[in-house]
Structure 1
Amino acid sequence: MTRIRLLPPAGPAARRLVLAQLVSSLGDGAFYTTSALYFSHVVGLSPARIGLGLTLAWAFGAVAGVPLGRLADRWGPRGTAVLLALATSASVGAFLVVRSFGPFLVAACCYAAAVSGLAAARQALLAGLVSKRERTAVLAHLQSRLNAGLALGAGVGGLALWSGSRGVYLAVFAMDAVSFAVCALVLARLPVVRGSGVPVAGDGGTAGGGPSRSVLRDRPYVVVTLLNSVLLLRMPLLSLGIPLWISERTEAPEWVASALFVLNTLGVAAFQVRAARGVHSTATAVAAVRWSGLVLFASCAVFALSGVALPVWAAVAVLAAGAVLHLAGEMRHSAGSWQISFDLAPAGRTGEYQGFFGTGLTLARTAGPLVLTVLLVGWGVPGWFLLGGLFVVASLGLGYTVRWAEPCGAVLPEEPRLNVARQRAGAGRGDPRGPRSA
């Protein structure tokens, strides 16, 4: 039986990052489980207004991620992450008192922006505190703890749904607000990682003492983000596509969709760290992403078989096999994409670049419902093979795009890049990025 480590062996700084992730994800799991019914039953909004408000909010959050990540690069990721964790806590707290669409929309936009910015600031903080070789392993622990926290939080949210009490709903949202306040306290105990202290990309200045440009003008990184968003369709596939497929195209009972989601969550919590082993360079990351594309194609092919006139027990078995392949592909894709997203970001610009890279997830979640509904419900079995083909093309294309980026100097060893930044900053001024922890 696999033993799940709660904290990584990479030093106290990495352990605090993982602890902060675990604490905030507990509240998030409860929030995601109950938010729709809370906004309907407690706030008093119609489903159409809830959908419109959240769509606008997440679009705003995606746009806000880049400038907030840029702010983390300029003024330091630790302080920025602490402030954004507190802003997230305050935004969730605001949901406790809003009772109409206007205030709800404002609170939702603040929440989405704070969450997007916090993700970018955390990545910049990780880049400053953890060595390049250990970074993907620590990210694997972060993802594992994220899933574990979401699962536990979802259990708490399930109790609220079972109760149906207004007071219990309010308690769940209060718990989420408290979880982000505690997250801020944990992040505040991390070592300081200094920002550049000067204008960065988009401000007409420099980052780390050298010339810079907006991430939007870094064409290889933009293409990598877009290709990665195609691979991220695996996320709405699990939460939306497979439930619709089971309901409309198979003989399997609908509860199987929930069982497959639990299987995925527990699988990532148990095996993500192991799946990330060996991914410690751009070359190994590209290999992992290419492998993930092929495995995701295989999972699509197996899922397609479940819709071919099978008895109930056989359809359930085939769906479970497809879910296991999906899990394996997901974990390898995660490990490879993390490494690539960091390696292609210039020194001192991690927050800005991670803020932009995070928009790929928003794009996948926005386009996913339409794409998956057309392919799987509308086209059936051929749609599964087309989706699998998209995964393969995106994974291969991402590797070629990384090669395109290399001649431009985007992929460089971490320490030489750091030394260049120090030399430009001038002798005797200290490390512009602050202390590092192994």
Structure 2
Amino acid sequence: MTEKTTWRTRLTGALPATRESRIIALNALVGSTGTGLFLAGSALYFTRFAGLTATELGLGLGIAGLVGLATTVPMGRLADRFGPRNMMLLVSIWRAVGYIAYLRVEGFTEFLVTACLLYVMDRAGQPLNQALVGRLITGPERNRTMAFVRSLRNVGFTVGFGVAGIALNMGTATAFQVLFLGNALSFLVVFCLLWLLPDVRVPRKGTDDGEEGADTLVPPLRNWRFVAVTAATGVLFLHDAVLTVVLPLWIADHTSAPIWMFTVLVTANTVITVLAQVRVTRHIDDLASATRATTHSAVLLSLACLIFAASGVLDVPAWAVAALVVALLLLTAGELLHSASSWEISFALSPDAAQGRYLAFFNMGFSVAEIGGPAVMLWLLSRAGAVGWLILAVAFPLAAVLSWAGSRPRPGDPGQQPEPSAVPATTGS
């Protein structure tokens, strides 16, 4: 009986602690599984069955990405006004309809319009989800929930890609369309789960009594400290481009290691992220610990770059493989620390009444790195080779210094004050 109780206690301790955090974590798993289905087959579907060329597909996605980037902060502002839960309900329905609409696309113009309308919601999803966590969960469980979200997203993407392999092998238009419908269905499930969460908002304060309301706070673009940490986050997030875009080309063109090592390294990164991300957040629970974690992350990422560079000059395949494995472990450790520290920093520096727009602005650092990072990294390595890794190894510590300058605790910081309790919105609001 004691062993059974201990087993249950361990299992419970390994799960999100609150009902709200469990629902949000489940949402991440469901939504990312659907997204994995879509991403695995979308490029082939559009180029084979929707009348697009590869160039048109890339151009359309680039334009849509910029539209989504430009509307991220306005969406965050709406979340401050109407609540992140209500905005995410809208986002879920919009995305479900949008992915079904993709099935009616024929030609570049229809694709571009549909993609732009959809990307407004796609880009808003991540910051809105973080704002929802910030509204519903406080204390250490807040960062822990974000860690569960990231871990389960990795699981969902893996499952989605795996299931999509069936459609890829079949190669028919119907099989690909099932993937799109599966993605749309996942967002309907997300909608139903979100409906179970309370509609919690920070009370809007008027300015007649002299108190600062949400509309009179300093916008994030005029808050130099927040701009600094956002920019630093964008630079540190280049680790994602290293893993997904640069690494396969580096292994194939610049090292003596076999190309299949890329699959091994990405799989290892995914498994470690799923197993370790929640544990990493345990000791990152305030602004000071998050700032230290950012510094440690930058050091680990720099060391990874140096060893990646070394892998290109090792002629013996076994030594090149060993260098790649060590570099990947350092990169993954830095990635885990950076993710956990960035959540805490963004929460701590976001004014409670304007959390939606501040988190949306902060997320733009990730988005810019995601859009422009691969091109910059590939250009750098194509021009400079191993020296490109050395340049990146210097850029990471400089970004950590910039983040430190922006996130130093000061009296009056939102993260240094007791968190005001949010209240459920009345049905008439």
TM-score of the two chains, using structure 2 as the length reference: 0.91
Equivalent in 75, 79, 88 of residue 82 of structure 2: 75
Q: Deviations over 1:86-136 (max 9, x none)?
A: 111111111111111111111111221112222222222111110133211
Equivalent in 237, 262, 266 of residue 261 of structure 1: 266
Equivalent in 222, 246, 252 of residue 251 of structure 2: 246
The yes-or-no answer on 1:211 pairing with 2:216 is yes
Could you say which residue in structure 2 is the equivalent of 1:9? Answer: 16
Counterpart Cα distance in 1 of 2:214 and 2:221: 20
Counterpart Cα distance in 2 of 1:134 and 1:96: 40
Counterpart Cα distance in 1 of 2:14 and 2:22: 6
Which structure 2 residues correspond to residues 172-211 of structure 1 after superposition, within 5 A?
A: 172-194=179-201, 196=203, 208=213, 211=216
Counterpart Cα distance in 1 of 2:204 and 2:181: 36
Could you say which residue in structure 1 is the equivalent of 2:121? Answer: 114
Counterpart Cα distance in 2 of 1:196 and 1:105: 39
1:284 positional shift: 0.5
1:219 positional shift: 1.5
Could you say which residue in structure 2 is the equivalent of 1:376? Answer: 381
Equivalent in 413, 416, 419 of residue 417 of structure 2: 413
Counterpart Cα distance in 2 of 1:5 and 1:388: 40
Equivalent in 154, 162, 165 of residue 161 of structure 2: 154
Q: Deviations over 1:30-56 (max 9, x none)?
A: 222222112111212001100110001
Tell me, yes or no, if the aligned pair for 1:249 and 1:377 is still in contact at 8 Å: no
1:17 positional shift: 0.5
Unaligned segments of structure 2, at least 5 residues: 1-9
Could you say which residue in structure 2 is the equivalent of 1:168? Answer: 175
Q: Deviations over 1:134-164 (max 9, x none)?
A: 2111111110001111111111222222222
Counterpart Cα distance in 2 of 1:324 and 1:4: 27
Counterpart Cα distance in 1 of 2:343 and 2:155: 19
Equivalent in 310, 315, 322 of residue 315 of structure 2: 310
The yes-or-no answer on 1:389 pairing with 2:394 is yes
Q: 1:198 to 1:247 in 2, by over 3 A?
A: farther
1:276 positional shift: 1.4
Counterpart Cα distance in 2 of 1:39 and 1:408: 51
Could you say which residue in structure 1 is the equivalent of 2:28? Answer: 21
The amino acid across from 1:264 in the alignment is: N
Tell me, yes or no, if the aligned pair for 1:8 and 1:138 is still in contact at 8 Å: no
1:246 positional shift: 1.1
The amino acid across from 1:365 in the alignment is: E
Could you say which residue in structure 2 is the equivalent of 1:284? Answer: 289
TM-score of the two chains, using structure 1 as the length reference: 0.89
Could you say which residue in structure 2 is the equivalent of 1:92? Answer: 99
Counterpart Cα distance in 1 of 2:104 and 2:14: 36
Counterpart Cα distance in 2 of 1:269 and 1:130: 22
Could you say which residue in structure 2 is the equivalent of 1:422? Answer: none
- C-alpha RMSD of the superposition: 2.3
Could you say which residue in structure 2 is the equivalent of 1:425? Answer: none
More helix by share: 2
Could you say which residue in structure 2 is the equivalent of 1:319? Answer: 324
The amino acid across from 2:75 in the alignment is: L
The amino acid across from 1:215 in the alignment is: P
Equivalent in 324, 333, 352 of residue 357 of structure 2: 352
Counterpart Cα distance in 1 of 2:33 and 2:19: 21
Unaligned segments of structure 1, at least 5 residues: 420-430
Q: 1:6 to 1:252 in 2, by over 3 A?
A: farther
The yes-or-no answer on 1:142 pairing with 2:149 is yes
- Secondary structure of the residue aligned to 1:8 is coil
Counterpart Cα distance in 2 of 1:145 and 1:396: 31
Q: Deviations over 1:355-413 (max 9, x none)?
A: 1111112211222123212332321222111111111111122112112x735634423
- Secondary structure of the residue aligned to 1:310 is coil
Counterpart Cα distance in 2 of 1:318 and 1:305: 7
